[in-house]
Chains A and B, each alone.
Chain A
């Protein structure tokens, strides 16, 4: 949950109320997700190091989550060396907050360097492999199940790199026991129990592409200064949202800052299907996760 408005709302309402409001917002109030309750809250950023929160904000969010008596997961993005320094500050802050607690806070990593850093310097934190590092093809233009070129290889497009045993072995060496994956439109052909790893599935919004060049982040820059990789921004992605619809797309596409998301079509059996994969956690974003 990255949206400030939702965090403020959470101060004055129950988790269940906020959850149900979010389902209604995405017009999912009639889907089986309504039978679930919130058992964990995510905070942080997967897609932009400029959005990494300050230690003060982390402390504030952590305290709110504690008040609601659910565990806390911190999200980290892909980063440059400057981003590594920022992540360090976040992890220092988290380590201090959770010192002495029985179960270490989860940290979702989307950069091999961050994973390496956690293993070496933050043994009290629990790394989780994020959806950027668990690779799978997602394309809002293609009906993989029925497309002439792709349907014959559906078994490849329904799997991720985590199906490779050597990769899972490496992850375990780095203390990773849980992996997060987007649920692609073409669905998954994976058995979490068989893989011997805990699976978390993002439902609803797939991340499709991301990078350091930010469309909205250049809104207030002069023409010659726009779209430079390391330029600082005014966090315009927190002020505006851009989206596109087109008959050739299988759902609405959100272009939020530096990242494009695809709102995958919902099917009535989706939650049941996810359960059949042995998935132990469903991740639902109440708002666009940037």
Chain B
């Protein structure tokens, strides 16, 4: 089982490989993209963050890819904005050709137009379907297999039994799941708002700045007891990822994790675990890689899930993150020693 790690600078590669990174993914904001759109249109899901989450020089990315290859680590590049439009396709094609030329190992795509373009202009790039493309069933997995994809990054909010079924039905593909950071109440690929640095997510806005009003479906007012229940439920809902868990020290954890499920995911046939967050500090990423490496080792050597859970007890997140199980990628296999 491979650990897939975000990369934004060549200087981080050696330490991350030493910590246990098996493969990398990175973003690229080219000069051409920036000169046409500035910060008004994203090229990938962290495009608005510019150099805080991306390479902004093709030469630097090429050098990073070369260093990764020296260490036998593949590098996949995110070109995974949720959609592109006709006037952007010349730049998308240009980026794909560049990635092909600098020998990136693959490209992470979410848009059908970009996928069809990649098949034509960048034949050497492995095609990975982004988690934002919402492959939630075997039919969709097969659909992408027939379109030339080699790996599916499964979206958030699938349970392990559903993942197992998809892999069993379409075993020709590789599968990757999110395992650390980047939680969301909604499905990223089904969200249509901008996540610019000025606005952030609408889910955060609604949680922080809006009080819901409630009605019955026939528009009549709710009773006091109904309103009480609805508001309590809403309070719990806002505990769900937001406000995000913020550590004060150098904890490994950011907001959500799926450590409890590593053994179950391995059994299901998942091949790669993704650490989300190309804008995270390299130090936190390094610590998460170390943590996951230990978890993967325990998953591979434990006799059963219970044995695995016993062995990873010292790796668990702090109790206030773990208690409710709302910051859990796979809550159905959650096993916290805090509760």
- Chain A contact residues, CB within 8 Å of chain B: 3, 5, 78-84, 111-117, 132, 135-142, 149-150, 152-153, 155-157, 159-161, 163-167, 170, 206-213, 215-216, 218-219, 223-224, 226-230, 238-246, 248-249, 253, 255, 260
Contacts and interface: CB of A to CB of B under 8 A. Distances in A.
B315 to A, nearest CB: 22
27 contacts: A3-B217, A78-B136, A80-B136, A80-B158, A81-B169, A83-B136, A84-B137, A135-B83, A141-B199, A156-B37, A156-B41, A160-B83, A161-B84, A161-B85, A161-B112, A163-B87, A164-B116, A166-B117, A209-B190, A209-B203, A210-B186, A210-B187, A211-B157, A216-B233, A227-B326, A245-B210, A249-B210
A271 B82 CA distance: 28
A149 to B, nearest CB: 5
A155 B233 contact: no
A226 B236 CA distance: 8
B185 A208 contact: no
Nearest to B219: A241
B233 A218 contact: yes
B326 A226 contact: yes
Given A113-B136, A113-B139, A215-B234, 5 more contacts: A5-B218, A164-B116, A209-B191, A242-B230, A244-B206
Is the interface on chain B under 10, 10 to 19, 20 to 34, or 35 or more residues? 35 or more
Nearest to B237: A215
Interface in B60-84: 82-84
Given A113-B140, A240-B216, A149 B85 contact: no
Contacts of A255: 206, 212
Interface stretch (B22-30, B159-167, B242-250): B159-167
A142 B192 CA distance: 12
B210 A244 contact: yes
Contacts, number: 232
Given A135-B82, A136-B83, A210 B190 contact: yes
Contacts of B281: none
Interface string B198-237: 1100110110011111111111001000100110011011
A132 B106 CA distance: 27
B332 A230 contact: yes
B257 interface: no
Contacts of A242: 212-214, 230, 234
A88 B242 CA distance: 37
A153 B139 contact: no
A136 B83 CA distance: 8
Contacts of B194: 137, 139, 142, 150
Given A244-B206, A260-B202, A208 B212 contact: no
B55 interface: no
A166 to B, nearest CB: 4
A116 B134 contact: no
Contacts of B240: 213, 226-227
Contact of B40 (A153, A159, A239): A153
A104 B59 CA distance: 55
The 4 closest A-B pairs by CB, nearest first: A113-B139, A113-B140, A135-B83, A211-B187
Contacts of A164: 84-86, 89, 112-113, 116
Contacts of B139: 84, 111-114, 116-117
Contacts of B134: 78, 111
